[in-house]
């Protein structure tokens, strides 16, 4: 396995040429147990630090970070790298800031994700954007996407909220009750421990992968 770093981005190449996306979690990266407490009509960590919340005051799940160590776990997403890719518009595969282009920004969706609200409806996705070379690479090597994917070129999009675990008041600590999608402005956002940042794409074209240049 080769592990290469460019600035703060990373590309992982396994034996046989398989590519590990930047946002993929590795077996060495695990959720960190962190009980929550009541604070300011919501949840908080008892030992909270500034890095536990984002600029929208959302509390985020804690996860260790050691990319490239162990085995890639393609069905798991690293909490911080997914969040960083969304906020900074980094390619979810190579981690580079080269996704914003004059003709639009590419998002690569599974067919199921797109069919939930097909064009021209707004698309809500937890998949960060992708650069054109990585889009073409992904549909060729990812078994989940190989036959069932949709590429959209977006002209207008914005962060919309988070997915995470909704908590309710209890003693001695608030308890998680269910997975929840909390949009900005929802009072339940204060009771949600986030694990994925969501983007709403409102103006876009569905394109063929060969047009992703």
pLDDT tens per residue, the chain (213 residues)?
A: 333 333 334 445 554 556 899 999 999 999 998 999 999 899 999 999 999 999 999 999 999 999 999 999 988 999 999 999 999 999 999 999 989 999 999 999 887 777 777 778 899 999 999 999 999 888 777 656 666 788 999 999 999 999 999 999 999 999 999 999 999 999 999 999 999 999 999 999 999 887 787
Closest C-alpha among 179, 130, 121 to residue 153: 130
Cα angle: 209, vertex 211, 212; to 5 degrees: 70
Q: What share of the chain is helix, strand, coil (3-state, %, to 5)?
A: 20, 40, 40
Distance (Å, whole) CA 45 – CA 36: 5
Distance separating alpha carbons of residues 126 and 160, to the nearest angstrom: 10
What pLDDT is stored for residue 189 in this prediction?
97
Choose among 10, 13, 39, 200: nearest CA to 122: 200
Instruction: Report the relative pairing of strands 59-60 and 192-207 from DSSP bridges.
Output: parallel
Neighbours of 203 (CB within 10 A): 12
Whole-angstrom distance, CA of residue 40 vs CA of residue 70: 39
CA distance 154 to 139: 18
Residue with tokens 């394109």: 207
b/e per residue 165-199 (b: at least 16 CB within 10 A): bbbeeeeeebebeeebbbeeeeeebbbbbbbbbbb
């Amino acid at each position: 396995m080769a592990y290469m770093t460019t600035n703060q981005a990373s590309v992982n190449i396994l034996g046989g040429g398989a590519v590990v996306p930047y946002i993929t979690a590795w077996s060495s990266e695990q959720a960190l147990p962190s009980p929550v407490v009541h604070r300011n009509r919501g949840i908080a960590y008892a030992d909270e630090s500034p890095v536990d919340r984002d600029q929208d005051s959302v509390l985020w799940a804690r996860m260790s970070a050691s990319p490239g160590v162990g085995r890639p776990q393609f069905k798991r997403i690293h909490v911080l790298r997914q969040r960083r890719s969304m906020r900074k518009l980094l390619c979810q595969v190579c981690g580079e800031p080269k996704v914003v282009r004059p003709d639009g920004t590419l998002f690569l969706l599974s067919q199921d994700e797109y069919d939930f609200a097909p064009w021209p409806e707004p698309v809500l996705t937890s998949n960060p954007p992708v650069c054109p070379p990585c889009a073409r690479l992904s549909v060729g090597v990812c078994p989940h996407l190989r036959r069932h994917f949709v590429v959209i070129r977006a002209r207008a999009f914005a962060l919309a909220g988070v997915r995470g675990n909704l908590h309710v008041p209890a003693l001695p600590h608030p308890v998680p009750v269910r997975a929840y999608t909390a949009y900005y402005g929802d009072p339940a956002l204060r009771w949600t421990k986030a694990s994925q940042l969501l983007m709403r794409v409102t103006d876009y074209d569905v394109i063929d992968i060969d047009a992703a240049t």
